[in-house]
Amino acid sequence: MKRVEQREEAVIKLYQLKVKSDIEKSSSSYTDMLITGVLENKDELDRKINKYLNNWTLDRLSLVDQAILEVASFEILYTDIDIKIAINEALELAKKYSDDKVKSMINACLDKIAKEKVNG
């Protein structure tokens, strides 16, 4: 399974967790790592995301948009994945599951999170 598919599976499973309390085991260890990482760091991730959502809060976004932002933010902040790849993959998922307005907001938010990480 390609990384892009693993990210998508993580987003879908996190979305499912937001709707119901349990999910089936994922098909890859990378997907499991993303899900576990997001859940273990949820408060910090959500704080960072809310900090950079201009005039929005995370809870106003759709559940799938929340999951996209959480997975990408986790990859940016806690993994060695290239930041540009994490952002680009999040935008591809937003293109598939969201609309252009939210896609732009996701891009801006993740860009600010990435800049904060790089610039300290």
- CATH code, domain carrying 114: 1.10.940.10
- Among 2-6, 43-47, 51-55, 110-114, which stretch is predicted with the lowest mean pLDDT? 2-6
**How many alpha carbons fall within 13 Å on the CB side of residue 116?**
13
Distance, in Å, from the CA atom of 71 to the CA atom of 13, rounded to the nearest integer, reads 11
pLDDT of residue 79: 96
The domain of 17 spans 3-119
Average pLDDT, the chain: 91
pLDDT of residue 105: 94
Helix (H, G, I), strand (E, B) or coil at 14: helix
Distance, in Å, from the CA atom of 84 to the CA atom of 57, rounded to the nearest integer, reads 24
Domain total of the chain: 1
